[in-house]
Amino acid sequence: MQANYFKYQLQFKQASGTSRGILTYKDTWFIQIEDGSFRGIGECGMFKGLSIDDRTDFESKLTWTCENIDLGLHTLLDNLIEFPSIQFGLEMAFQSIKQKKMFELFPSDFTKGQDSIPINGLIWMGDKSYMKQQIKDKLAAGFSCIKLKIGAINFDKELELIKSIRNEFDAQTIEIRVDANGAFKPYEALEKLKRLSDYKLHSIEQPIQQGQLQEMAQLCAETPLPIALDEELIGVFSVTNKDLLLQTIKPQYIILKPTLIGGFKGSQEWIDLAESKNIGWWVTSALESNIGLNAIAQWTYTLKSQLPQGLGTGGLFTNNIQAPLAVESGQLFYDLKTKWNLKF
């Protein structure tokens, strides 16, 4: 068995705003494994400024992984506990070798093109007119659930934007999720949640920055609006610590980004713990290329969640890998008429 990796820079079609700044490109890394005549590929989509494995030794750890590929998946995962994106890339690559198909990792009605996954339409941060145009586009495209990233412009203007949606579409017609990416200060968060709750939102992701466990626990206990943990899950490795975090905070939801929390295995641990505590969950991609998105979508379909998932980011890049993933009427599906076009 042999392995190698290489870096790839994804270019955004349009500069995209987050609470961490404006993104014009995103680096990602692909790991390839050859086992006889079969080749597997996985994406290690480390997210600079967010991933716990955004470290100076990231690429040297990728080199070590390739040099030690014969240790096998389970041993490698144990040795890469602090590098969740490499864990996920390995899971993808080994799964494709196991299936003897590079891209059909989890055969299902989804990969046969016979069923689809409901997803939310993502509204990127920007000025009010830009965000409003995105909302119009998503509604015209048939989405029944939209997710707004908030925290970049004036809060009152964001409330006006949400109010304008609610004036036109009630909660039964359009489900609205918001993601603050930790933008609120603990002392102001509850008041802002109360104001947001006037508009019958589904939930808010990560209202305050991660690592403030007692403040977040108090918010979750008092909130009029369901809270979903996102960044809070990053860097929590052991099942014991995952269980402790959920017991302490008692959130209404958790959001699973496999690239950031240890791939399929790490995400499944969170799901099992959440379900034992009646905590809801959904899966979200983290600006991976279509190779990573494909793996996340196929795995997510097998979980049979009824909630809209956060998987619609494949169209953001000018140089994404052509893939049979398509979005129509708020659903992600496999378009068998479109073939993979892997140029490396």
CATH of the domain at 55: 3.30.390.10
Burial label, 168 (beta-carbon count in 10 A; 0-12, 13-18, 19+): exposed
Q: What pLDDT digit, counting tens, does each position of 22-57 carry?
A: 789 999 999 999 999 899 999 999 999 999 999 999
Q: Residue 106 domain-assigned?
A: no
Does 152 share its domain with 226? yes
Report DSSP letters for 188-238, one per residue: HHHHHHHHHHTT--SEEE-SB-TT-HHHHHHHHHH-SS-EEESGGGTT--S
**Mean pLDDT (whole number) for 234-238:** 97
DSSP structural state of residue 341: B
* Exposure string over 99-133, b if 16+ CB within 10 A, otherwise e: eeebbbbbeeebbeeeebbbbbbbbbbbeeeebbe
Q: How far apart are CA 253 and CA 228, in angstroms?
A: 4
DSSP structural state of residue 125: B
Annotated active-site residue in 257, 265, 277, 343: 257
249 CB-near residues (< 8 Å, 6+ apart): 213, 216, 217, 220, 229, 232
Domain boundary residue among 99, 134, 155? 99
Q: Residue 243 domain-assigned?
A: yes
Three-state DSSP class for residue 77? helix
The pLDDT of residue 19 is 54
Does 50 share its domain with 192? no
Q: Residue 108 domain-assigned?
A: no
The number of folded domains in the chain is 2
pLDDT at 18 over 80: no
Annotated active-site residue in 26, 138, 149, 242: 149
Structure tokens that stand for 46 in this block:
């480390």
Confidence of residue 288 (pLDDT cuts 50, 70, 90): very high
Does 144 share its domain with 227? yes
Does 89 share its domain with 226? no
The pLDDT of residue 17 is 61
Helix (H) or strand (E) segment spanning residue 84: helix 84-99
Does 161 share its domain with 290? yes
Q: Residue 112 domain-assigned?
A: no
Does 130 share its domain with 70? no
Does 127 share its domain with 231? yes
- Concerning whether 277 is annotated as a catalytic residue, the answer is no
Does 85 share its domain with 201? no
Q: Residue 91 domain-assigned?
A: yes
Does 268 share its domain with 168? yes
Q: Which domain holds residue 305?
A: 117-334
- Concerning whether 257 is annotated as a catalytic residue, the answer is yes
The structure's pTM equals 0.94
Does 61 share its domain with 125? no
Please count the other Cβ atoms lying within 10 Å of the Cβ belonging to residue 75. Answer: 11
Using an 8 Å Cβ cutoff, are 315 and 309 in contact? no
Structure tokens that stand for 247 in this block:
């017991």
- Highest mean pLDDT of the ranges 48-52, 131-135, 182-186, 261-265: 261-265
